[in-house]
């Protein structure tokens, strides 16, 4: 007989679709929640198949260790595994100081785990070296929205508001493939006559459904945004009252965009001036409009400035804070929003507080029961930490949670070398990911449906992940692992391992911060289908919409920020004549460690592929399904050719969900944005050649 239904959420992307699980003797049945306000009964193929891994035969259920670097991993007891980690931590601390030990987290961790990982690093390890894979994902938008609006919440309004916008501009976003259930809000707008404009070097599924598709050269979105603002000013579409009353800094931006006249923007971006004019006209004449950016705008060495350019456009048109209008960023990872609020980022304390702010340190130290002066200062960003592993001044023992850096970090061969140079690599995971396979100690952890916790979706809505079944024997939750390690290390500060207790502590630590969860309880989340932060007390209704009256800056005004186009750090040349752009496909998620183990998803998309324009395919003599080799200054990858005129003829697109020879990140450039420290995943130079048909 089936067990009672458990209302919970899909484990994958930031939409966090509402689902129901029923545990039967033979399997776990999964169905969408018809009335959940974001997905309203919709799920994508990843969500429909999410229960498959709950009884995955190769699930890790015992800790694994290796006795020498060249020895295979072998099972061991928890005591042995945790003792080894403890010894490695102590040794690295002794030899290199507290910063000889580091933690690497993930945007898939629950809020409780992300919070505890930050506390564990600063209190139990005393290290400044903690960052997470969200640095690769949303940090440019976080930096740009923080400097413009004083706060970083991906959507400062509920998803449903998208249906009310007459014009929606999507920049480097492909929700039709990456989060299909969200498209119902776009479709609802379209059915009332709304116009959608997509800016993307690929004619993605989202672009195909849009009225207008602008297809710029990779790395030129900033110039395009400045060009659109130039036209908005020229045609008198800017909202001068809004600019005067609600913003500051417009005059410098006006001066900068004066030189982005359409012919020049066409030369930089490759987008015809007539299309720019059409887009600017549609946007400028709309009574409600939204500008939505995603990784396509962000994952550049100028990603923060690119996002700022689109914020400037939205502010000049008077969109943020107006009903049915606004600027927003579509978050990617499941807890991409909450994961960047509560302290697993190098410069941050819970509640979106800054680690270098004395008041913030005092507040959080009081919650943790430690001296504020004992807290380390800000550490290094994700790629910078990986880049220095095992070197002078770098981390020598690394603890990785919910991340598969061997596949997801840029310049993968270099990162693999650095991981190999560690004294000890510890990975907590429930499958043997590419990173876990390199580890000295692997700790088998619980999966999403085997534990409770909270996640914060792309709207800033805090959601409850409920437990539907017990984990298999031999498996621990990350909270239990952190507690056990803290105790072994002799840490005198308590580490609770029950999610509700940890959440109550998080509420106290976040109280008064930008991301204030103080008024959010598990019961409220359950009763209200999620609660939007900030929510400073239990009587507060939560905040679905930000910026209606003021922005979160000291004077309540949004800030314009003048920005100039600059080329990607690496552009095509005679040796490497094409742009490489990377991204997600419809059937897989992030590094693919989970989705590459799900039969239906593997059947739908069995192999990594490279999208090539027919002209390029002809030039190198390959047909559909043939293997091609991409190579550049950092590495190479072998992939099946997918020939399509959806891609620009100067650009190759590769999804980043696969490892081994098909690792897209073997090629990507770790050039970092100077503000967000986000790597340039979306543009580098590659050469493409046919591979012998006998390639295995």
Nearer to ligand SF4, 108 or 262 (CB): 108
Q: At what angle do helices 478-488 and 78-96 cross, to 10 degrees?
A: 60
Nearest C-alpha neighbor of 529 from the set 582, 461, 576: 461
Helices (H) and strands (E) in the chain, counts: 23, 30
From CA 525, how far away is CA 79, in angstroms rounded? 37
CB of 181 to ligand SF4, least distance (A): 5
CB of 184 to ligand SF4, least distance (A): 11
Nearer to ligand SF4, 17 or 155 (CB): 17
- C-alpha 121, offset from chain centre: 21
- C-alpha 515, offset from chain centre: 18
The strand order across the sheet containing 6-9 reads 6-9, 18-23, 28-32
From CA 253, how far away is CA 392, in angstroms rounded? 43
CB of 18 to ligand SF4, least distance (A): 9
Given a contact cutoff of 8 angstroms between Cβ atoms, the answer to whether 28 and 7 are in contact is: no
CB of 175 to ligand SF4, least distance (A): 8
What does the per-residue mask of binding to ligand SF4 show for 173-192, with x meaning CB under 6 A?
Answer: ------x-x-----------
Nearest C-alpha neighbor of 153 from the set 378, 321, 360, 357: 321
Nearer to ligand SF4, 49 or 210 (CB): 49
Nearer to ligand SF4, 16 or 269 (CB): 16
Token pair recorded at residue 77:
């007891």
CB of 48 to ligand SF4, least distance (A): 7
Q: Does 44 sit near ligand SF4 (CB under 6 A)? A: yes
What does the per-residue mask of binding to ligand SF4 show for 141-180, with x meaning CB under 6 A?
Answer: --------------------------------------x-
The footprint of ligand SF4 on this chain (CB under 6 A) covers a number of residues equal to 13
List beta partners, residue 399.
103, 426
The C-alpha angle 501, 505, 509, rounded to 5 degrees, equals 165
- Neighbouring CB atoms inside 10 A of 32's CB total 19
CB of 46 to ligand SF4, least distance (A): 4
CB of 657 to ligand SF4, least distance (A): 13
Q: Which residue is it, tokens 């001296």?
A: 371
What is the three-state SS of 129-177?
CEEEHHHHCCHHHHHHHHHHHCCCCCCCCCHHHHHHCCEEEEECCCHHH
Footprint on residues 12-31 left by ligand SF4 (CB under 6 A): 12-13, 15-17
Of the ranges 36-44, 382-390, 526-534, 683-691, which one interacts with ligand SF4 (CB under 6 A)?
36-44
Nearer to ligand SF4, 29 or 90 (CB): 29
Of the ranges 38-46, 299-307, 541-549, 664-672, which one interacts with ligand SF4 (CB under 6 A)?
38-46
- Cα separations in angstroms, 210 against 174, 176, 183, 689: 11, 11, 12, 33
- One residue of 6, 8, 47, 120 binding ligand SF4 per CB under 6 A: 47
Of the ranges 8-16, 214-222, 276-284, 375-383, which one interacts with ligand SF4 (CB under 6 A)?
8-16
Q: Which residue is nearest to ligand SF4 (CB)?
A: 47
Nearer to ligand SF4, 302 or 404 (CB): 404
Nearer to ligand SF4, 198 or 590 (CB): 590
Footprint on residues 425-464 left by ligand SF4 (CB under 6 A): none
Of the ranges 5-13, 124-132, 614-622, 628-636, which one interacts with ligand SF4 (CB under 6 A)?
5-13
CB of 264 to ligand SF4, least distance (A): 39
- One residue of 30, 43, 238, 509 binding ligand SF4 per CB under 6 A: 43
Of the ranges 10-18, 369-377, 478-486, 630-638, which one interacts with ligand SF4 (CB under 6 A)?
10-18
CB of 36 to ligand SF4, least distance (A): 10
Nearest C-alpha neighbor of 174 from the set 294, 276, 291: 294
Nearer to ligand SF4, 100 or 175 (CB): 175
Got the DSSP string for 649-676? TTEEEEES---GGG-GGGT-EEEE-TTT
CB of 340 to ligand SF4, least distance (A): 18
Of the ranges 37-45, 65-73, 82-90, 124-132, which one interacts with ligand SF4 (CB under 6 A)?
37-45
Got the DSSP string for 278-326? HHHHHHHH-SSEEEEE-HHHHSSTTHHHHHHHHHHHHHHTT-TTSTT-E
**What are residue 37's phi and psi, to 5 degrees?**
-70, -15
Name 379's Cβ contacts closer than 8 Å, sequence gap at least 6: 99, 102, 127, 128, 129, 130, 131, 346, 347, 385
Given a contact cutoff of 8 angstroms between Cβ atoms, the answer to whether 353 and 364 are in contact is: yes
- One residue of 21, 46, 92, 250 binding ligand SF4 per CB under 6 A: 46
Footprint on residues 84-103 left by ligand SF4 (CB under 6 A): none
Of the ranges 7-15, 88-96, 192-200, 242-250, which one interacts with ligand SF4 (CB under 6 A)?
7-15
Footprint of ligand SF4 (CB under 6 A): 10, 12-13, 15-17, 39, 43-44, 46-47, 179, 181
């Amino acid at each position: 007989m089936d067990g009672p239904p458990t209302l919970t959420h899909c484990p994958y992307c930031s939409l966090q679709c509402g689902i129901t699980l029923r545990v039967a003797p033979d399997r776990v049945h999964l169905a969408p929640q018809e009335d959940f306000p974001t997905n309203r009964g919709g799920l994508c193929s990843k969500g429909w198949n999410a229960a498959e891994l709950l009884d995955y035969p190769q699930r890790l259920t015992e800790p694994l260790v290796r006795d020498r670097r060249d020895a295979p991993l072998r099972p061991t007891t928890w005591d042995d595994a945790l003792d080894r980690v403890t010894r490695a931590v102590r040794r690295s601390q002794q030899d290199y100081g507290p910063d000889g030990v580091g933690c690497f987290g993930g945007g898939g961790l629950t809020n409780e785990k992300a919070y505890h990982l930050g506390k564990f690093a600063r209190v139990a390890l005393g290290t400044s070296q903690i960052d997470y894979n969200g640095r690769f994902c949303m940090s440019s938008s976080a930096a740009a929205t923080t400097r413009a609006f004083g706060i970083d919440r991906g959507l400062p309004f509920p998803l449903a508001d998208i249906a009310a916008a007459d014009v929606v501009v999507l920049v480097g976003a492909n929700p039709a493939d990456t989060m299909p259930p969200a498209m119902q809000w776009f479709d609802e707008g379209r059915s009332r006559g709304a116009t959608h404009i997509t800016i993307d070097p690929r004619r993605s599924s989202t672009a195909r459904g849009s009225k207008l598709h602008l297809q710029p050269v990779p790395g030129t979105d900033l110039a395009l945004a400045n060009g659109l603002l130039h036209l908005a000013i020229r045609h008198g579409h800017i909202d001068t009252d809004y600019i005067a009353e609600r913003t500051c800094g417009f005059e410098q931006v006006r001066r900068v965009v004066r030189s982005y006249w359409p012919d020049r923007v066409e030369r930089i971006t490759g987008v015809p001036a007539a299309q720019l004019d059409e887009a600017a006209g549609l946007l400028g004449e709309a009574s409600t409009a939204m500008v939505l950016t995603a990784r396509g705008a962000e994952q550049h060495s100028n990603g923060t400035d690119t996002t700022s350019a689109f914020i400037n456009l939205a502010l000049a048109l008077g969109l943020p804070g107006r009903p049915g209008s606004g600027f927003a960023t579509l978050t990617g990872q499941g807890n991409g929003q909450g994961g960047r609020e509560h302290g697993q980022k190098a410069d941050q304390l819970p509640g979106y507080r800054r680690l270098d702010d004395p008041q913030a340190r005092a507040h959080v130290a009081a919650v943790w029961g430690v001296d504020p002066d004992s807290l380390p200062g800000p550490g290094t960003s994700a790629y910078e930490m990986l880049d220095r592993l095992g070197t002078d001044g770098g981390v020598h023992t690394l603890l990785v949670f919910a991340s598969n850096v061997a596949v997801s970090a840029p310049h993968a061969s270099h990162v693999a070398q650095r991981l190999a140079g560690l004294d000890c690599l510890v990975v907590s995971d429930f499958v043997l990911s590419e990173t876990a396979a390199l580890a000295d100690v692997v700790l088998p952890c619980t999966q999403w449906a085997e534990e409770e916790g909270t996640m914060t979706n792309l709207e800033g809505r805090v959601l409850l992940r409920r437990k539907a079944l017990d984990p298999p024997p031999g498996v621990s939750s990350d909270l239990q692992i952190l507690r056990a390690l803290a105790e072994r290390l002799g840490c005198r500060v308590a580490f609770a391992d029950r999610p509700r207790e940890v959440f109550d502590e998080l509420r106290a630590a976040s109280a008064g911060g930008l991301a204030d969860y103080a008024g959010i309880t598990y019961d409220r989340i359950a009763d209200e289908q999620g609660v939007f932060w900030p929510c400073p007390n239990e009587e507060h209704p939560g905040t679905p919409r930000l910026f209606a009256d003021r922005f979160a800056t000291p004077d309540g005004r949004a800030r314009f920020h003048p920005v100039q186009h600059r080329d990607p750090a690496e552009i095509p040349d005679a040796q490497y004549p094409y742009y490489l752009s990377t991204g997600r496909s419809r059937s897989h998620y992030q590094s693919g460690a989970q989705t590459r183990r799900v039969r239906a998803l593997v059947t739908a998309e069995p192999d990594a592929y490279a999208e090539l324009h027919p002209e390029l395919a002809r030039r190198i003599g390959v047909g559909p399904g043939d293997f091609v080799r991409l190579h550049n200054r950092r590495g190479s990858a072998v992939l099946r050719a997918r020939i399509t005129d959806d891609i620009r003829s100067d650009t190759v697109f590769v999804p980043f969900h696969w490892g081994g020879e098909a690792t897209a990140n073997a090629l990507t450039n770790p050039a970092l944005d100077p503000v967000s420290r986000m790597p340039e995943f979306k543009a580098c130079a590659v050469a493409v050649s046919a591979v012998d048909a006998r390639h295995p």
